[in-house]
Structure 1
């Protein structure tokens, strides 16, 4: 399994595989052609309420991750997550985010879920 997280502002690399934008909003200052996004499953992203709660500094990353995982268990998101797992089984996938700290973002939660499903 090959899944990694990169900032959408970084230039595409030849080994990115399928490039999946995992942000609900299109990143500022980047043109769609430059981002080379193959998929944009908005239903797989944290809800607006959860995103605002976390960015307001009201809770810990661990609590954010727990709440986001609960959102991902909902039927629509679970179906999209299963589809992403299928993509990962077929080849490399790069999750793209505009988060300044991808290791403490929703993208890292997704990687954790994708990696735990492949064990």
Structure 2
């Protein structure tokens, strides 16, 4: 029997919605409820499956998680991943995307200032 290839973007969840759209919706729900860890997890799945806005939302959520952690390797890793997702987003020319990228640059500056002051 031949092996059937499976990709998340090919899954339909009903009413024609793709897995990426479903995962994005779950990310929004968790973000609205304040569970940023779960929101990031679902936004990451949606972005990997091709959801156009998921990379931007994921970058924002990861940046906020890095702000919550304030120090340590974990915060640095979150900030680096957030930057990768934001810089690779499909459309970074919209006002919302520009705002998120500006926020990310500000986060980097604050981190650099804290490192410089020994915090």
- TMscore range, shorter length: under 0.3
The one of the two structures with greater contact order (alpha-carbon pairs below 8 A, sep at least 6) is 1
Query: Per residue, is there more helix in 1 or in 2?
Result: 2
| Higher Rg | 2
Query: Where is the strand percentage greater, Structure 1 or Structure 2?
Result: 1
Normalising to structure 2: TM-score of the pair?
0.27
